Amino acid sequence: MRKISTKDIEYIAMGSTVLGTGGGGDPYIGKLLANEAINKYGDVSLIDAKELKDDALVVSIAAFGAPMILVEKLFSGEEFKRAFDMMEAYLGKKIEAIIPAEAGGLNGVIPFAVAARKKVPLVDADGMGRAFPRLEMTTFTLHGIPVSPITQADEKGNKNVYHTIDNTWGETLVGATTIQMGGSCAIGCYPMSGAQVKIAAVHGIVTYAETLGKAIIDAKAKNQNPIDSLIEKAAAIKLFTGKISNVTLKTEGRWNKGVCEISGLEKNIDSQMTLDFQNEFLMAKKDGKPVAITPDLIVLIDAENAQPITAESIQYGTRVIVLGMKANAQWRTPEGIELGGPKKFGYQENYITIEELNKNNRDVL
């Protein structure tokens, strides 16, 4: 166990933006809520999963909605408290720890606000090792852990509890009412035991996000190259250097969908890259050929300030670097590829590891 302060939140928020792979919602609002809660209620205890009692009740508390909406329709923080309290009341049992559903984007930091306020520890683990756009796309699902009961609360005071026949129906039904709530809400989900967390979660991911954030922020403070620092800590592959030449973006339901086009610069001067996204970047193609495919991570970085770029904030003319990172091993199993791979999103391409796709890339570390 160790204590997480507001300084640590700065690092974690930056690293969560990297792991958001363009989606997950901008962590900035989550960082403000986390810092406010920590300043008011005290530092958060970050614990390893092995510190959990096997019969401990562990729950994910998360923001749910379209990333574009999450920026425009701000949370007060009360929604997450309601989702937490509803879960305890419904199950009739005290929640002993919170676990992030995803370590990427907004949900990489929102759980700290709830943990501080409710004075419970946060588990150094999650259910994705990144961000994904759908509620059922978790390693918890891969291990047969139900997403429900799901508690849902919005800023107006509306509340729901769901029992769904499977995790995909959880996404479908909660997603439908979220649209009616204005496109965003807070949820409690994946109630599980400490024993289940130890088996099913992606472990050490909060610390990993912190490490990635430090790589960027500390390198800037030392006048070192933050992108090189990030590449080293993430064991990332530099896929492309270029300038944003076009972006198409539309919101469908609770997803941002579109394509980002990048014209090459430097050694990529004669090449083009496209990034397909559905909240998260899912497919990177260089001159029409895939160089990174979900569930591996695709990260868009502003070349000028090393800030990871979310899909909804892409701007024409920005000079960027595209990085690729390996997904957690659980996503590279046949079951993981079926749940989080390209076919799940309607792509025709088969999943090929980023190492194989880039075996002739000289930027591979």
- Tell me the pLDDT tens digit for each residue of 302-325: 999 999 999 888 899 999 999 999
Q: Is residue 45 part of a domain?
A: yes
362: pLDDT confidence band, cut at 50, 70 and 90?
A: low
The residue with greater pLDDT, 138 or 254, is 138
Mean pLDDT of all residues in the chain?
93
- 26 shares a domain with 66: yes
- 232 shares a domain with 171: no
- 160 shares a domain with 57: yes
Of the candidates 317, 274, 323, 321, the one whose C-alpha atom is nearest the C-alpha of residue 302 is: 321
- Strand pairing partners for 258? 249, 277
pLDDT digits (tens, 9 = 90+) for 251-292: 666 667 789 999 999 999 999 999 999 889 999 999 999 999
- Of 170, 205, 240, which closes a domain? 205
- 237 shares a domain with 193: no
> Rounded distance, CA 66 to CA 278, Å?
10
Q: Is residue 217 part of a domain?
A: no
Q: Is residue 299 part of a domain?
A: yes
Structurally, how many domains does the chain consist of? 2
What pLDDT, on the 0 to 100 scale, is given for residue 76? 83
350: pLDDT confidence band, cut at 50, 70 and 90?
A: very high
pLDDT digits (tens, 9 = 90+) for 223-245: 999 999 999 999 999 999 999 99
What pLDDT, on the 0 to 100 scale, is given for residue 278? 87
Which domain CATH number covers 9? 3.40.1610.10
Of the candidates 4, 66, 80, the one whose C-alpha atom is nearest the C-alpha of residue 38 is: 4
pLDDT digits (tens, 9 = 90+) for 83-128: 999 999 999 999 999 999 999 989 999 999 999 999 999 999 999 9
Q: Is residue 215 part of a domain?
A: no
- 286 shares a domain with 174: no
Lowest-pLDDT choice from 59-68, 156-165, 195-204, 267-276: 59-68
CA distance to 45, 168, 290, 309, per residue, from 246 (Å): 44, 33, 19, 15
- Of 205, 235, 267, which closes a domain? 205
Q: Residue 363 above 70 pLDDT? A: no
- 68 shares a domain with 175: yes
Q: Is residue 124 part of a domain?
A: yes
Q: Residue 360 above 90 pLDDT? A: no
- 334 shares a domain with 233: yes
- 176 shares a domain with 66: yes
Which domain CATH number covers 351? 2.40.390.10
What pLDDT, on the 0 to 100 scale, is given for residue 279? 84
Q: Residue 365 above 50 pLDDT? A: no
Q: Residue 364 above 90 pLDDT? A: no
| Residue 78, domain extent | 2-205
- 163 shares a domain with 43: yes
- 112 shares a domain with 61: yes
Per-residue three-class SS string for the chain: CEEECHHHHHHHHHHHHHHCCCCCCCHHHHHHHHHHHHHHHCCEEEECHHHCCCCCEEEEEEEEECHHHHHHCCCCCHHHHHHHHHHHHHHCCCCCEECCCCCCHHHHCHHHHHHHHHCCCEECEECCCCCCCCCCCCHHHHCCCCCCCEEEECCCCCEEEECCCCHHHHHHHHHHHHHHCCCEEEEEEEEEEHHHHHHHCEECHHHHHHHHHHHHHHHHHCCCCHHHHHHHHHCCEEEEEEEEEEEEEEEECCEEEEEEEEEECHHHCCCEEEEEEECEEEEEEECCEEEEECCCEEEEEECCCCCECCHHHCCCCCEEEEEEECCCHHHHCHHHHHHHCHHHHCCCCCCCCHHHHCCCCCCCC
- 138 shares a domain with 47: yes
pLDDT digits (tens, 9 = 90+) for 150-186: 999 999 999 999 999 999 999 999 999 998 998 889 9
What pLDDT, on the 0 to 100 scale, is given for residue 254? 64
**Whether pTM exceeds 0.85:** yes
- Of 175, 205, 235, which closes a domain? 205
Q: Is residue 213 part of a domain?
A: no
- 250 shares a domain with 142: no
